[in-house]
Structure 1
Amino acid sequence: MPDTSAGPRLLGPAAVRRLAAELDLRPTKQRGQNFVIDANTVRRIVRESGVGADDVVVEVGPGLGSLTLALLEVVRRVVAIEVDDLLAGRLPATVGEFAPQRADRLEVVLADALRVTDVPGPGPTALVANLPYNVSVPVLLHLMALLPSLERGLVMVQAEVADRLAAGPGSRTYGVPSVKAAWFADVRRAGSVGRTVFWPAPNVDSGLVAWVRREPPSTTATREQVFAVVDAAFAQRRKALRGALRTVAPAERVDAALAAAGVDPLARGESLGIEDFVRITESLESLEHGGDAR
């Protein structure tokens, strides 16, 4: 038996390839399977996330267990959500091999993270994951909405997506992901990750995004109503708001709502923050139901 008193052994290139060979696994682009083979990278992710002994962590797409093992070293519990039944079935055995003293801290959920409706056990406090790049934004937003107990998180995503999530109004990369993430949290870029730490190496660069939960804007509108306005505002980026929002309300109501919200009708969506979208939505809803625009 290996000595685990100093913490779990982490996966390196040889161990990752051995596990993949045992499973006859061929990573698929469809599921965004690029496995981290560098122990220093997963240690860095855990360190940057700020999780500790009291945290219950949700991990999405644990794959072969590289990040899972590093998390188990420092947190109280890891709930790993994995859509691939082959990987989900192997993960407990991998933890048993590399970190047997911490195996009871792991729970594996075989599910599509976009479709989960709850997470077993105590309310999770953090999300730490190398998210599948093809669905990273919808997964992040879904879990932020589903799990209000999440206080913070750190995720690895495609570098371009990391820029979008952390962008502020007026930035070239500011868009729908930026605004929607800002509903839930304060988001920041937390660093870059090179391609060589993955197997197989992706053809895109990667970035880390950290976020801390904050109270959503105080509003009479629902999140769904606000997000519908956000989607419309960015559907045709070159259109001014008075034109772009006509997909959600008649022109006369759009003009009145923008005036009431104090927003220039010739402005574009990328110049507005989440609070601006909230005011516009409240005014649109009030006018639709016969009230005065707010």
Structure 2
Amino acid sequence: MTVSLLGAAEIRALAADLDVTPTKKLGQNFVVDANTVRKIVAVARVTAADRVVEVGPGLGSLTLAILETGARVTAVEIDRRLAARLDATARAHGVPDGALTVVAADALAVTDLPGEPDVLVANLPYNVSVPVLLHFMEHFPGIGRGVVMVQAEVGERLAAPAGSKIYGAPSVKAAWYGAWRLAGTVSRQVFWPVPNVDSVLVAFDRDATPRGDETERRRTFRIVDAAFQQRRKMLRQALAGVLGGSAAQASAILEAAGVAPTARGEELTIDDYVAVAHASASLASLGE
């Protein structure tokens, strides 16, 4: 199978034909460089055996690069004009019937997808990249790995280790699912229109064994949110509201989890937060 990719001139022609003007509201910056989309697919290690979900395919430049490998793709696109055109673009570029499924929907509202995807590859809109990633990791446990292109600041935060200045709630929540790493930089010049921010590739691999069930995840994430909402405060104060209602009760739970009550949120790893959540649940059950 030979799939041809989109060039810059054809992307602009497609946009004009559809009367699509890239908007900041939807975070639309279309990739117009074939080498870049092939690089993303290579970093994601996509093969013909994979079932890939792509979020925000836009006019299809990255979509075609994924399909070029022989993989099957489910593309989720919120802009119905773009979603309606994607099939025709794929056929015109040599994609066989059945290789591409287009879902016209808001990615944040999707909880079920055809094809049971096992790889996520996407150029994510800057304004919703973290919510979309966490939503897909939560609702599609079959996704075992992936690569996303995001704003550099967002990517660095996702991959940040505990103790760093940019480590925050997104870093911890992403780590609940597995390991994240920076996997390359992307020039502003490969986009149309050219964005005013830098972009990076972030790769992830889901842990083979889940850290906990949905109840444990929600409990842990509540604690993470509370810790970073008041990140300058010691945890015994920042977590008082979610760990019993007082600093003394929060301290007792933190000590039971092996965490210093005087620590701050950015010092804790995901394993520390899970330990606090478990201690909280254990002490709550003892008090019942």
- Partner residue in 1 for 2:286: 290
Which one-letter code corresponds to 1:261 in the other structure? A
Give TM-score scaled by structure 1 length. 0.94
Q: Are 2:152 and 2:198, in contact at CA under 8 Å, matched by a contact in 1?
A: yes
CA distances 1:109-164 after superposition (whole Å, capped 9, x unpaired): 0111101010012x211000001111000100110111111110000000000001
Matches within 5 A, 1:84-99: 84-99=79-94
- Inter-partner Cα distance in structure 1 for 2:143 and 2:51: 9
Distance 1:220 1:80, change over 3 A: closer
Residue 189 of structure 2 aligns to a residue whose secondary structure is: helix
Alignment partner for residue 34 of structure 1, among 29, 35, 53? 29
State the TM-score, normalizing by the size of structure 2.
Answer: 0.95
The answer to whether the Cα contact below 8 Å between 1:253 and 1:287 also exists between their aligned partners in 2 is no
Aligned residue number for residue 134 of structure 2 = 141
Q: Is the 8 A contact 1:219 1:282 kept in 2?
A: no
SS of equivalent residue, structure 2 residue 149: strand
Counterpart check, 1:176 vs 2:169: yes
Alignment partner of 1:11 is 2:22: no
Does the Cα contact within 8 Å between 1:221 and 1:285 map onto a contact in 2?
A: no
Instruction: Tell me the CA shift for residue 290 of structure 1.
Output: 2.7
- Whether the 8 Å contact between 2:121 and 2:147 is mirrored in structure 1 is yes
Name structure 1 gaps, 5 residues minimum: none
Q: How far apart, CA to CA, are the structure 2 residues paired with 1:22 and 1:183?
A: 43
Where 2:236 maps in the other structure, the secondary structure is helix
Give the Cα separation in 2 of the matches to 1:263 and 1:115. 36
Aligned to 2:71: 76
Provide the rounded CA distance (Å) in 2 between the counterparts of 1:273 and 1:217: 13
Aligned residue runs from structure 1 range 186-225, under 5 A: 186-214=179-207, 215-217=209-211, 222-225=216-219
Alignment partner, residue 114 of structure 1: 108
Aligned to 1:162: 155
Whether contact under 8 Å (1:57, 1:75) holds in the other structure is no
> Which one is further off, 63-72 or 281-290?
281-290
Question: Secondary structure of 2:262's partner?
Answer: coil
Counterpart position of 2:49: 54
SS in 2 for 1:104: coil
Give the one of 146, 151, 155 matched to 1:153: 146
What is the RMSD computed on CA atoms of the aligned residues? 1.5
Q: Post-superposition shift, 1:103? A: 4.0
Counterpart check, 1:267 vs 2:260: no
Task: Work out the CA distance in 1 between the residues paired with 2:157 and 2:44.
Answer: 19
Q: How far 1:221 moved relative to its partner? A: 5.7
In 2: Cα distance, 1:218 partner to 1:12 partner: 45
Identity value in percent: 58
Alpha-carbon separation, structure 2, partners of 1:116 and 1:239: 37
Give the Å deviation of 1:219. 7.6
Separation (CA, whole Å) in 1 of partners of 2:235 and 2:19: 52
Contact persistence 2:60–2:89 (CA under 8 A): yes
Answer whether contact 1:36 1:66 (CA < 8 A) is retained.
yes
Counterpart code for 1:69 = L
Q: Which residue of 1 aligns with 2:272?
A: 276
Question: Could you tell me whether the CA contact under 8 Å between 1:253 and 1:284 is conserved in 2?
Answer: no
Q: CA 1:233–1:75 in 2, change beyond 3 Å: closer, same or farther? A: farther
- What is the alpha-carbon distance in structure 1 between the residues aligned to residue 282 and residue 85 of structure 2? 53
Q: Secondary structure at the match of 2:98?
A: helix
Aligned-pair CA distance for 1:75: 3.5
